[in-house]
Amino acid sequence: MSEWVDVCAIGEIEEEDVIRFDHVGRTFAVYRDEDGTPFCTDGLCTHEQVHLADGLVLDDEIECPKHNGRFNYKTGAALRTPACVALTTYPARIAEGRIQVQV
Amino acid sequence: MTPARDYSLIGPERDRAIAIGLASAEWYHTDVPRKVMKGLMRRNDGPATRDTILWLGLLLLTGIGGIATWGTWWAVPFFLVYGVLYGSACDSRWHECGHGTAFKTQSKNDWVYALASFMVLRNPVAWRWSHARHHTDTIIVGRDPEITVMRPPDIARKALAFVGIPDAFVHFGVLVRQAISGPNAEEADYIPESEVPKVMFWARLFVGLHLVALLLALLTWSILPLMLIGGPRIYGTWHMVLVGLLQHGGLAEDVLDHRLNSRTVYMNPVSRWLYWNMNYHVEHHMFPMVPYHALPALHELIKDDLPPANPSIPHAYAEMIAAVLRQRTEPGYFARRALPPGAKPYVEAFHTETSLPEAS
Ligand code: FES
């Protein structure tokens, strides 16, 4: 099992928003939903490798900034073309006021 | 004779675009703080619901008016309005709902997208993929399937497009071909195999519905059914062409900066309503997640980093026509506008005339 990795203080991601998180040569998108719960997925859209952190969080979905493809960031499911391939998701948690992901 | 560039998506220009890094490349974006951009991207059902009720309501009223007065001169004004609402406004509704930005509720986007695709004679699945490619590789020769003004330009054909000739028939022919055999080799370059059954389903449905209208016309021996369905794509399409040609016409090819290949034009409120603010075309291409109703605000925010907007449709046409006329003999020429002081310089790669293939 991989280690929990520190991402940022909880306040650095607004509720219903996303940030980019780079870690050992990989890039991830770390989200908070409207209740403030954190989630983590691969950082690049599966359609054309665009950073999802520049996109828009709408309820449980992330909309890609390039072609408006959509994914459920909680399950990774691709919901709207041209995004067809699901995102990989990773566990995320809040510990002592900080967001951590297991990647 | 000026040699034409090869605009096919399966020819040597495609290989060249890929080889020199023009395909799926990084594009220039004006810096906008994330918080501000989030506000601009925010979705809202209100404006598009209001506009769609108005659009469909006017279509219904003018359609009924046209039927009621058919055979008299009173039908003319009804069909003039009905034609533009059907044959021109369909394009912007197709476009915005295809992006999924018009409405917050996705099912509303999907319904209006399907209806507008029918009106504009575009396969809703094939064109969703085509438009994605247009955004990835905007006006990159050999990659973008939606380049409307090619070089050297066919000016007579562009003029005929204002009355849907031969465009409406070409589009219908594409639907018939897709209904029978699915995507061709060029379309297969951007439509995944898994989407082919959907492409064929929608093509068959749209062709079938138009054949019903044709059958009705034959049975009643009247063109009235075709004035209501299909025909507006010919007699009412002029406004779509009028504003659509300005999007990229006469501007640069093979660049990675939308400020060089797209045009923002200030327009009258009626045209903006019919066109759903796509006159802010540089802004739309730079930030396709911003809904049409927020484009004026985005324009205000970033206009100091963009070439000045053309102040009117006639002004934009004067610029475009001058460039297009020159492109008949100088296919490397394009209208290049100065940036305002303080704007970030153009991304200089790939936009000199010498980057074009040698004329041979
Ligand atoms: S790159 Fe994300 S939908 Fe195309």
CA distances B356 to B24, B141, B152, B352, B353, Å, are 19, 10, 13, 8, 6
CA dist B309 and B302 (Å) reads: 12
Whether residue B350 is predicted with pLDDT greater than 90 in this model: the reply is: no
Mutate to test the interface with A, among B289, B292, B298 (most CBs of A within 10 A): B289
Q: What is the pLDDT of residues B272-288, one digit of tens each?
A: 999 999 999 999 999 99
Task: Please name the amino acid found at residue B21.
Answer: G
Task: Please choose, from the candidates A40, A49, A33, the residue with its C-alpha nearest in 3D space to the C-alpha of residue A82.
Answer: A49
Query: Residue length, chain B?
Result: 360
Whether residue B216 is predicted with pLDDT greater than 50 in this model: the reply is: yes
Of A17, A58, A67, Cβ closest to residue B43: A58
CA dist B268 and A28 (Å) reads: 44
pLDDT, residue B348, reads 63
Task: Please name the amino acid found at residue B209.
Answer: L
**Does B230 contact chain A (CB < 8 Å)?**
no
- Tokens for B337? 């506008």
CA of A54 to nearest chain B CA: how many angstroms apart?
Answer: 8
Q: Is A100 exposed, middle or buried (0-12, 13-18, 19+ CB in 10 A)?
A: buried
CB A41 within 8 A of CB A53: no
Of B42, B136, B192, Cβ closest to residue A48: B136
CA dist B142 and B8 (Å) reads: 5
**Does A66 contact chain B (CB < 8 Å)?**
yes
Domain architecture of chain A: domains with CATH: 4-102 (2.102.10.10)
pLDDT, residue A2, reads 80
Mean local confidence (pLDDT), B80-108: 98
- Residue whose Cα lies nearest atom 3 of ligand 1: it is A69
CA dist B291 and B297 (Å) reads: 11
Q: Is the CB of A83 under 6 A from ligand 1?
A: yes
Q: What is the pLDDT of residues B158-168, one digit of tens each?
A: 999 999 999 99
Q: What is the pTM of this model?
A: 0.94
- Tokens for B314? 């006639």
Q: What is the pLDDT of residues A26-85, one digit of tens each?
A: 999 999 999 999 999 999 999 999 999 999 999 999 999 999 999 999 999 999 999 999
Are B99 and A80 inside 8 Å of each other by CB?
no
| Phi, psi dihedral angles at B172 (to 5 degrees) | -65, -40
The DSSP output letter for B45 is: S
| Phi, psi dihedral angles at B240 (to 5 degrees) | -60, -45
Between helices B46-68 and B89-99, what is the axis angle to 10°? 150
